Amino acid sequence: MHEYSIVQALIALVEAEAAERGATKVHALRVGLGELAGVEPSLLSTAFETFRERTICAGADLNLRRIPAQWSCPRCALEILRGAPLQCSGCGGPARLVQGDELVLESIDLEVN
Amino acid sequence: MCEDCGCGDPEVVPIEVQKRILGNNDRVAQHNREHFFKQGVLALNLMGSPGSGKTALLEATARTAGPRLRIGAVSGDLATDHDGERLRKAGIPALTITTGTACHLDARLVHDALHDFPLEGVDVFFIENVGNLVCPAIYDLGQAANVVALSVTEGEDKPLKYPAMFRAADLVLLTKIDLLPALPEVRIEAFAEALARVNPAPRILPISARTMEGMAEWLSWLAALRAASRSVEPRQFVSRPAAILRGETR
C-alpha cells in the first residue's frame, strides 16, 4: 500500500505552500485523483486522516475530485468507449489518454493572519 | 485577522496550487534519467507480481546475451539480498535495495543506489522493482521504458485488474510459457486481448527462462530500444523510446 507515502508527499507539498504564504493553518485541500492514477481513494483518505495529526494539515478536510479515465484517438479524435480496446476503431492507431491519470494538489484553503 | 469587519476571525483564503503530488519524485527521476543518458545506458523498470519470474528472466538474459549486451541490475526487496545474490551468481553486477516496509522503489532509492553502482561497461541497467502489481506503477524512476513480467499461471484478466500497471507497460513478457502444456485452458490470445483494453500500444512477448523460447526476440527488442533511446534527449515521457521503436512519431 503506497497511499501512506503519497500522503507524506502531499503533506510536505502543503507545508511548503503554506510556509511560502505565511499561513498558520490549513482548513481544506482539494486533490484531483484520476481513475488510472493507481491510488485507491478510500485508502488515501484513511492515510490522510492518520498522518495529518501534528502537521499543518491537522483537522483539515481532504476533498477528492475523482477524474474518470477518458481515451480518444489523437488522429481521428474518435472517443474510445469504456472497456473497449484502446486502438482506434477508425484508423487502428493507439488511443491517447485525455484525462484520468492525475494525482494533483489542486487547491488549499489556508488561514492567514 | 479578518480585516473587513474587525471581528477577529482568522482569514481563510483559497489558494490555487495545481502541482503533481509526486513532483519531487519526478524531479529526482528526471535527474536519474539524464544520468543514464549521459552514461549511454538503457535503464528499464522491470515490474511484476512476486514470483512472476523477474529474477529468473534476468539470469537467463545474462546467460544468453553474454558480452554482446552487458547487463547491470538493482533489485528492490522488502527484506533479504536473495535476488541480488542470484543475479551476481549469474554474472550480473547487482545491488539490492532493501525497502523495509515500502512496497515499491522510488526515484530517491534508485538515485542513492546509483552512487554505489559504477555504470561503466553496462549497456542495459535493470531496475528490478518490488514484486507488486499496484504501487510500483506510479513512481517514475528515470527509466527509458517499463517491462512487466506476467506469468501464464497468474490469469488472463490481470491486465484488466491492474490497469495502472499494464497501461504503463511498454512490453509485457508473458513468462513461464514452458508450463503451457500443463495448462490447457490458458490461451496466450486472452492475455493479449485483455492487455489491448488497458494499453493503447500493447506488446506482448511469450518467453521462457527455462527453454529460452522467446529469448532471441527479447534480446532484439532490448538492442533496438537501446538504439532508439540514444537518439532522443531524455524527457519526462517515459515511453518515448518505445514509441519511436514502434514507429510512432509524436
Give which of A104, A106, A109, A113 to mutate to test B binding, by max B Cβ within 10 Å. A104
pLDDT number for residue B240? 66
Structural domain contains residue A105: yes
Residue of B nearest to A108 (CA): B15
Q: What is the DSSP letter of A21?
A: T
Instruction: State whether A105 and B18 contact (CB < 8 Å).
Output: yes
Average pLDDT over residues B11-22: 94
pLDDT category, A85, cuts 50, 70, 90? very high
Q: Calculate how close chain A gets to B13, using CA atoms only, in Å.
A: 5
pLDDT higher than threshold 70 for residue B114? yes
Please count the structural domains in chain A.
Answer: 1
Q: Which three cell numbers stand for residue B247?
A: 514507429
Phi-psi domain of A100 (left: phi exceeds 0; alpha: psi -120 through 50; beta: other): left
Cβ separation of A38 and B138 shorter than 8 Å? yes
Please state which of the four CATH numbers 3.20.20.30, 3.40.50.300, 2.30.130.10, 3.30.390.50 is assigned to the domain occupying B23-235: 3.40.50.300
Neighbour count for residue A45 (Cβ, 10 Å): 16
Domain boundaries, given as residue ranges, for chain B: 23-235
Residue B8: the pLDDT is: 67
Domain holding A15, by residue range, is 3-68+99-112
Q: How many CA atoms lie within 13 A of B79 on its CB side?
A: 1
pLDDT digits (tens, 9 = 90+) for A31-70: 999 999 999 999 999 999 999 999 999 999 999 999 999 9
Task: Quote the CA–CA distance of B52 and B153 in Å, as a whole number.
Answer: 9
Q: What Å distances lie between residue A5 and A111, B43, B53, B105, CA to CA?
A: 26, 24, 27, 11
Residue B239 has pLDDT above 80, yes or no: no
When pLDDT is cut at 50, 70 and 90, the band that residue B237 belongs to is low
ipTM of the complex: 0.94
The chain A residue lying nearest B16, using CA atoms, is A107
CATH number at residue A43: 3.30.2320.50
